[in-house]
């Protein structure tokens, strides 16, 4: 009998809220209660008690004190349970703080496993908070030796190998691993490598849920000792899976576009829920970005909670008015038209010298004032919709269309926006009017304006941005890839200058391997010319 069958494991892929120690404790207790009789060990994700990442809450010693009280309470509770739990939590030993996995069974803290490899790159800052573990120990549990690893520890071969040497019969990896394009495959490869090296089965448990600019997809899984995937949990949903019920779980991966849509939707949904908000306001322009953002919002919190406002100016075409109205109708969201004409006219009467870019930004800012005033009156949160291509180029008005609490498109290049719209229309009854997708994009802030008057074609722009951002190439390194020199230099210049705008932008879900903000920490004052 394999170690996977010796014991009844249950994967608890749940959605904790950062800092909500009471709420997370309740959720742990409820899963424990529901699965107590059918389990030997219920496995929760990394830092499930605090939610991941708790950031500088970990610097408040009262916060750690309260975590310890909750752990004590769980230890007490275990006296009344037949199953044990494995939970992630911050844990102090000799005044040092560890990122730990605690096994609680029968009135005892049976084992404490601390994390060795503390990620301090990308979106991670774990060396800011934790001491790395220097000892590896397999944990004895009901006659079986468990090799417990915490997140990053699975991405190196040394920990799994040490655990195997100590007699571990099964590897258990608890994770707070945020979603990004390609991440599911990357995890899979690492997990399979550990299984191949050790010939041990592996249970991978990940957090799900949105947390500010991160989305955790869950997608927990189990590999048997041959590396065969015998269970895959849901993505972007809570999923509590007894290991015995793995019979008919599909292994088909969804399309990339579907993953991105669901990640974005969960990011918005959880941002709303975890900050106590229920309704969304969105400026619908008749363009593709606001249309997709509205579709995402409908998926996240329901059409009845979305209100769209179309704010036409003298430059708004009838086509845009028609497209916006039809889009709102198709999506089933309430819709109103608030022209900005009178406000613009009054402003220009007071300040007649306002022309050019200032006049364009003025329109955008007055729309921002209208949306924010409605937000103040109704309590609804404004969703802002600048895509990654625009955020990179600063092709957005600060305090104008950048107004908003959350930006679902922040890490989505414009070319990706189109791809997701296509996928959405194929799977959602063509709700986004086709004309919105096919017409040439325009900000409609001056007569006959088109995005392509100011920007390179999006296919080229996005390819250049990917070189400069995701691949971190220099200007000359990007030109060597075959792009036009002047275009690359212009894009790089805008990317640099727009840093001050991005620093004041709303959060939005990370989707790419190099999201702005937490993952790309750039100076505003930046004299680098390469």
Residues designated as active site: 46, 115, 151
Judged by CB under 8 A, the residue of 26, 430, 476, 485 near a copy of itself is 476
The helix (H) or strand (E) run that includes residue 358 is helix 356-378
Q: 393: which 2 tokens?
A: 């180029």
Q: Interface with a copy of itself includes 500 (CB under 8 A)?
A: yes
Judged by CB under 8 A, the stretch of 123-131, 145-153, 250-258, 457-465 that binds a copy of itself is 123-131
Q: Is the dihedral of CA 119, 121, 123, 125 positive or negative?
A: positive
Judged by CB under 8 A, the stretch of 6-14, 89-97, 207-215, 437-445 that binds a copy of itself is 207-215
Q: Which of residues 477-496 bind a copy of itself (CB under 8 A)?
A: 477
- The residue written with tokens 């190196």 in the block is 156
Judged by CB under 8 A, the residue of 53, 201, 312, 386 near a copy of itself is 53
The helix (H) or strand (E) run that includes residue 388 is helix 388-393
Q: Interface with a copy of itself includes 156 (CB under 8 A)?
A: no
Judged by CB under 8 A, the residue of 55, 237, 422, 470 near a copy of itself is 55
CB nearer a copy of itself, residue 191 or residue 214: 214
Q: Interface with a copy of itself includes 178 (CB under 8 A)?
A: no
Q: Which of residues 20-39 bind a copy of itself (CB under 8 A)?
A: 20-23
Q: Which of residues 397-416 bind a copy of itself (CB under 8 A)?
A: 398-399, 403, 405
In the shown chain, the binding pattern of residues 346 to 385 toward a copy of itself, with x for contact by CB under 8 A and - for none, equals: xx-xxx-xxx-xx--xx--xx-xxx-xxx-xx--------
In the shown chain, the binding pattern of residues 425 to 454 toward a copy of itself, with x for contact by CB under 8 A and - for none, equals: ------------------------------
Q: Interface with a copy of itself includes 134 (CB under 8 A)?
A: no
Cα distance between residue 256 and residue 484, in whole Å: 30
Cα→Cα distances 79→67, 211, 377, Å: 19, 33, 51
Burial profile 199-232: b = 16 or more Cβ within 10 angstroms, e = fewer: ebbbbbbbbbbbbbbbbbbbbbbbbbbebebbbb
Judged by CB under 8 A, the residue of 95, 134, 250, 504 near a copy of itself is 504
Strands 221-223 and 229-232 come out as antiparallel
Cα→Cα distances 311→5, 177, 363, 485, Å: 62, 40, 9, 39
How does DSSP assign 236-267, residue by residue? SS-EEEEGGG-TT---PPPPHHHHHHHHHHHH
Q: At its nearest, how many Å lie between a copy of itself and the CB of residue 228?
A: 37
Q: Interface with a copy of itself includes 152 (CB under 8 A)?
A: no
Judged by CB under 8 A, the stretch of 282-290, 316-324, 388-396, 516-524 that binds a copy of itself is 516-524
**Size (the chain), residues:** 530
Q: At its nearest, how many Å lie between a copy of itself and the CB of residue 156?
A: 16
Q: Which of residues 65-104 bind a copy of itself (CB under 8 A)?
A: 66
Judged by CB under 8 A, the stretch of 56-64, 156-164, 252-260, 422-430 that binds a copy of itself is 56-64
Judged by CB under 8 A, the residue of 18, 49, 146, 465 near a copy of itself is 18
Are 356 and 342 in contact by the 8 Å Cβ rule? The answer is no
Q: Which of residues 213-252 bind a copy of itself (CB under 8 A)?
A: none
Q: Where are the alpha helices (DSSP H) in 48-156?
A: 61-77
Judged by CB under 8 A, the stretch of 5-13, 49-57, 294-302, 420-428 that binds a copy of itself is 49-57
CB nearer a copy of itself, residue 125 or residue 319: 125
Query: Which residues, other chains included, contact 224 with Cβ-Cβ below 8 Å and sequence gap of 6+?
Result: 2, 4, 201, 230
Q: Interface with a copy of itself includes 19 (CB under 8 A)?
A: yes
Q: Interface with a copy of itself includes 57 (CB under 8 A)?
A: yes
Judged by CB under 8 A, the stretch of 152-160, 240-248, 440-448, 502-510 that binds a copy of itself is 502-510
Burial profile 268-296: b = 16 or more Cβ within 10 angstroms, e = fewer: bbbbbbbeebebbbbbbbbbbbbbbbbbb
Q: Where are the alpha helices (DSSP H) in 230-354?
A: 256-274, 288-301, 318-331, 341-350
Q: Which residues pair with 147 in a beta bridge?
A: 171
Task: Output the CA torsion 357→363→367→370 (10° steps).
Answer: 120
Q: Which of residues 313-332 bind a copy of itself (CB under 8 A)?
A: none
- Residues binding a copy of itself: number (CB under 8 A): 83
Q: At its nearest, how many Å lie between a copy of itself and the CB of residue 494?
A: 14
Q: Which residues pair with 500 in a beta bridge?
A: none
3-class DSSP state of 286: coil
Q: Which of residues 253-282 bind a copy of itself (CB under 8 A)?
A: 270-271, 274-275
Cα distance between residue 28 and residue 496, in whole Å: 45
């Amino acid at each position: 009998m394999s170690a996977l069958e010796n014991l009844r494991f249950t994967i608890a892929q749940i959605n904790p809220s950062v800092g909500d120690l009471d709420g997370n404790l309740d959720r742990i207790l409820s899963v424990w209660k529901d699965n107590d009789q059918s389990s030997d060990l219920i496995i929760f994700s990394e830092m499930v008690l605090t939610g991941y990442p708790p950031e500088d809450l970990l610097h408040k010693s009262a916060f750690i004190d309260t975590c310890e009280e909750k752990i004590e309470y769980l230890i007490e509770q275990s006296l009344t349970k037949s199953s044990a739990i494995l939970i992630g939590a911050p844990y102090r030993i000799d005044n040092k703080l560890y990122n730990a996995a605690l096994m609680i069974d029968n009135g005892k803290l049976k084992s404490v496993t601390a994390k060795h490899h503390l990620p301090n790159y990308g979106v991670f800052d774990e060396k800011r908070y934790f001491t790395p573990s220097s000892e590896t120990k397999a944990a004895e549990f009901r006659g079986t030796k468990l090799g417990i690893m915490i997140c990053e520890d699975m991405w190196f071969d040394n920990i799994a190998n040490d655990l195997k040497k100590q007699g571990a019969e099964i590897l258990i990896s608890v994770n707070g691993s945020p979603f990004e394009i390609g991440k599911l495959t990357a995890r899979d490869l690492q997990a399979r490598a550990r299984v191949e090296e050790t010939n041990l089965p592996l249970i991978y448990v990940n957090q799900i849920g949105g947390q500010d600019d991160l989305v955790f997809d869950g997608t927990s899984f189990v590999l048997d000792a041959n590396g065969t995937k015998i269970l895959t949990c849901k993505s972007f949903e809570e999923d509590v899976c007894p290991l015995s019920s793995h019979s008919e779980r599909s292994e088909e991966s969804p399309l990339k576009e579907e993953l991105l849509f669901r990640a974005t939707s969960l990011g918005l949904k959880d941002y709303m829920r975890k900050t106590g908000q229920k309704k969304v306001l969105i400026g619908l322009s008749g363009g593709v970005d606001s249309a997709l953002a509205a579709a995402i919002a409908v998926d996240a919190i329901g059409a009845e909670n979305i209100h769209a406002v179309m704010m036409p100016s003298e430059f708004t075409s009838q086509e845009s008015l028609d497209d916006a109205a039809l889009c709102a109708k198709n999506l089933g969201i309430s819709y109103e038209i608030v022209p900005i004409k009178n406000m613009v006219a009054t402003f220009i009467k007071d300040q007649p010298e306002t022309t050019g870019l200032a006049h364009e930004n003025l329109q955008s800012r007055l729309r921002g004032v209208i949306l924010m005033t409605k937000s103040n009156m109704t309590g609804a949160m404004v969703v802002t919709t600048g895509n990654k291509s625009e955020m990179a180029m600063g092709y957005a008005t600060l305090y104008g269309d950048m107004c908003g609490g959350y930006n679902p498109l922040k890490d989505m290049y414009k070319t990706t926006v189109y791809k997701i719209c296509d996928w959405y229309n194929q799977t959602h009854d063509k709700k986004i009017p086709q004309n919105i997708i096919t017409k040439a994009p325009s900000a409609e802030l001056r007569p006959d304006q088109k995005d392509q008057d100011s920007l390179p074609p999006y296919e080229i722009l996005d390819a250049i941005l990917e070189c400069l951002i995701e691949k971190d190439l220099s200007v000359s390194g990007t030109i060597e890839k075959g792009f036009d020199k002047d275009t690359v230099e212009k894009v790089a210049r805008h990317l640099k200058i727009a840093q001050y705008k991005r620093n004041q932008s709303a959060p939005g879900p990370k989707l790419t391997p190099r999201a702005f903000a937490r993952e790309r920490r750039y100076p505003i004052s930046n004299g680098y010319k390469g």
